[in-house]
Chains A and B, each alone.
Chain A
Amino acid sequence: MARLRDKAEKVRSKNAGPFWLTIDIFCGEKTVFQDVCEKLSNIDIANVLDVDEADLKRFEISSLNVVKISLPRPQIQGSIRDRDMHGASWAAIIGEMEI
Chain B
Amino acid sequence: MTKVVVPSGALGLNYDKQALQRAIAAKPDIIAIDGGSTDSGPSYLGRGISKYSRSSTKIEWKGLMEARAKANVPLVIGTAGTCGADSAVDWLVDITKEIAEELKQDIKIAVLKSSQDKSDIKAAFKSDKISPLEHAPELHENDIETFENIVALAGVEQITEALNTGADIIIAGRTTDTAIIAALPIQNNCHTGAAWHGAKIAECGALCATNPQSGVILVDFDHEGFTVTPMADNAKATPHTVSAHMLYENSNPFILYEPGGHLDVTEANYSAIDQKSVRVEGAQWVPSDNYTVKLEGSRITGYQVMIMALVRDSHYVEHIDQWTSDISELCCAKVMDRLDLTKDDFDIELRLIGKNATLGSIDKNPAAASEIGVMGIVTAQSADLAKEIAKVLNPYLLHHPLTKEEEVPTFAFPFSPAEIDVGPVYEFGLNHVLKLDHPMDAFSLEVFEVKNGAS
A78 touches B351 (CB 8 A): no
Docked Cα-Cα span, A3 to B52, in Å, equals 38
Taking CB atoms and an 8 Å cut-off, the chain A residues in 2-60 that contact chain B are 14-20, 22, 24, 26, 48-50, 57, 59
Output the least CB separation between B89 and chain A (Å). 21
Tier of interface size on chain B: 35 or more
Given A19-B428, A59-B252, A85-B41: A79 touches B361 (CB 8 Å cut-off): no
Is B210 at the interface (CB under 8 A from chain A)?
no
Tell me which residues across on chain A come within 8 A of B363, comparing CB atoms. Answer: 93
- Docked Cα-Cα span, A72 to B135, in Å, equals 7
> Which residues of the other chain, A, contact B40 by a CB distance below 8 angstroms?
85-86
Q: Are B249 and A22 in contact (CB under 8 A)?
A: yes
Contact B248 A19 (CB under 8 A): no
A19-B135, A61-B253 in contact; A78/B428 too (CB < 8 A)? Answer: yes
Whether a CB of chain A sits under 8 angstroms from the CB of B368 is no
> Which residues in B have their C-beta under 8 angstroms from that of A93?
359, 362-363
Q: Does B412 lie at the interface of the complex (its beta carbon under 8 Å from any beta carbon of A)?
A: no
* Contact present for B253 and A83 (CB under 8 Å): no
Q: Which chain A positions have C-beta within 8 A of B425? A: 78, 80
Give chain B residues whose Cβ lies under 8 Å from the Cβ of A18: 38, 42, 296, 428, 431
A92 CA to B248 CA in the complex, in Å?
A: 17
For A99, what are the chain B residues with a Cβ–Cβ distance below 8 Å?
Answer: none
Cβ of A14 and Cβ of B427 under 8 Å apart?
A: no
**Cβ-closest chain A residue relative to B269:** A63
Give B133's nearest chain A residue, CB to CB: A19
Contact with A64, one of B38, B243, B351 (Cβ below 8 angstroms): B243
Q: When the two chains form their complex, are residues A68 and B247 in contact, meaning their CB atoms are under 8 A apart?
A: yes
Instruction: List chain A positions with a Cβ less than 8 A from chain B.
Output: 14-20, 22, 24, 26, 48-50, 57, 59, 61, 63-64, 66, 68, 70, 72, 76-81, 83-86, 89-90, 92-93
Task: Give 8 nearest A-B pairs by CB, closest first.
Answer: A70-B251, A16-B251, A78-B42, A18-B428, A78-B41, A72-B135, A20-B251, A89-B358
Can you pick out 20 interface pairs between chain A and chain B where the beta carbons lie within 8 Å of each other?
A: A14-B249, A15-B38, A16-B251, A19-B135, A22-B247, A48-B362, A49-B362, A59-B252, A63-B243, A76-B428, A77-B41, A79-B301, A80-B349, A80-B377, A83-B359, A84-B359, A85-B41, A89-B358, A90-B359, A93-B362
Besides the contacts A15-B39, A50-B361, A64-B247, what 7 more A-B pairs have beta carbons closer than 8 Å?
A19-B133, A59-B253, A63-B243, A70-B251, A78-B426, A79-B427, A93-B359
